[in-house]
Amino acid sequence: MLGVFLVIVNNRFQVTKKQKLTIEHQKAIVDQKQKEVMDSINYAKRIQYTLLANDELLQKNLPEHFIFFQPKDIVSGDFYWATKMGSGQFYLAVCDSTGHGVPGAFMSLLNTSFLNEAINEKNILSPEAIFNHVRAQLLDSVSQEGGQDGMDGTLLCIDPSKGRVSYAAAHNSPVIVRNGEVIEPGADKMPVGKADRMESFLLFNPELKNGDMLFLFTDGYHDQFGGPKGKKFMYKRLKALLAEIAPASVAEQKEKLSRAFNEWKGELEQIDDVCVVGIRIKF
């Protein structure tokens, strides 16, 4: 009996050892696959960042500005994009594509492609007409199966020769801060994409003065949970913060926005991509 018992114990040990080797092998396969996926996503990040507005273009056309860009994941559904026409108009889009992470990044690439097509290929110059074109392209390309993918955001056109700024806005109104006062010029309450409301976008022509701070942002900042009670930051608190920081230099404004956001978030998970752009108006 003792001999039989030892054989059984030995067999059990052998099976356990085989199982351990199998688990280690499977783990190595999973780790390798995960590394390949992460390498691909990090490469996608490099591609996405090359399509964002480059620093040289922004600095040349917006001497005093900041960009606070903090994606939730490695790649982002939020994006900021810019181009300049030979006639002098400078365009800046700050947008929030449907989703975040990899799906959001795919949508952001599609949206920037359609913006580029409208302005640089179709020579459509008015912001509301550009948004109308992007929406039509999205309906043709991604909404055939009933999907409602698209973007919210603001498309700004600065015409230095006329000292004029115009814009179109889907859900996200820009904010102007002047001498401590917060001004909200307005936005269309519909996305760039398929929705219940499908009217033509409006063109907004806000009256801006030298020294005004103009802020464009997506909803990720004010929707973030945190603080002592784990609640949303909220749009009202964001407006108050923008009014408070507006007199500071643009570099200080970015630092204060970043610190306030991350202190509010604390140890909680970031729930969405964040993008805030601040521009000191100089005509």
Indicate if the pLDDT at residue 100 is higher than 80: no
Average pLDDT, the chain: 89
Q: How many CB atoms lie within 10 A of CB 107?
A: 24
281: CB partners within 8 A, 6+ apart: 165, 208, 209, 210, 211, 212, 213, 214
Q: Does residue 8 sit in helix, strand or coil? A: helix
Task: Give the CA count within 13 Å in the CB-facing half-sphere of 187.
Answer: 22
- Residue among 154, 274, 278 nearest 225 (CA): 274
Residue 22 confidence (pLDDT) = 77
78-92 average pLDDT score: 94
Indicate if the pLDDT at residue 75 is higher than 70: yes
Residue 4 confidence (pLDDT) = 46
CA distances from residue 6 to 9, 60, 230 in whole angstroms, order as listed = 5, 81, 59
What percent of the chain clears pLDDT 70, i.e. is strictly above it? 88
DSSP 122-151: S---SHHHHHHHHHHHHHHHT-TTS---EE
pTM confidence score: 0.86
35-68: pLDDT as tens digits: 766 666 676 677 777 778 899 999 999 999 999 9
| Identity of the amino acid at 58 | L
Residue 199 confidence (pLDDT) = 94
Residue 273 confidence (pLDDT) = 95
Q: Please state which of the ranges 47-61, 156-170, 176-190, 247-261 shows the lowest mean pLDDT.
A: 47-61
Residue 240 confidence (pLDDT) = 97
Beta bridge partners of 81: 93
Residue 111 confidence (pLDDT) = 95
Q: Please state which of the ranges 83-87, 112-116, 189-193 shows the lowest mean pLDDT.
A: 83-87
CA-based diameter of the chain, in Å? 101
125-145: pLDDT as tens digits: 999 999 999 999 999 887 666
| Identity of the amino acid at 77 | G
Indicate if the pLDDT at residue 74 is higher than 50: yes
204-253: pLDDT as tens digits: 999 999 999 999 999 999 999 999 999 999 999 999 999 999 999 999 99
DSSP element (H, E) containing 95: strand 90-97
Residue 70 confidence (pLDDT) = 95
Residue 9 confidence (pLDDT) = 47
* Spatial contact of 265 and 226, defined as CB atoms under 8 Å apart: yes
Residue 5 confidence (pLDDT) = 45
Question: b/e per residue, 236-262, with b = 16+ CB within 10 A?
Answer: eebbebbbebbeeebeebbebbeebbe
137-164 average pLDDT score: 85
Residue 163 confidence (pLDDT) = 87
What percent of the chain clears pLDDT 90, i.e. is strictly above it? 69
9-26: pLDDT as tens digits: 455 545 577 777 777 767
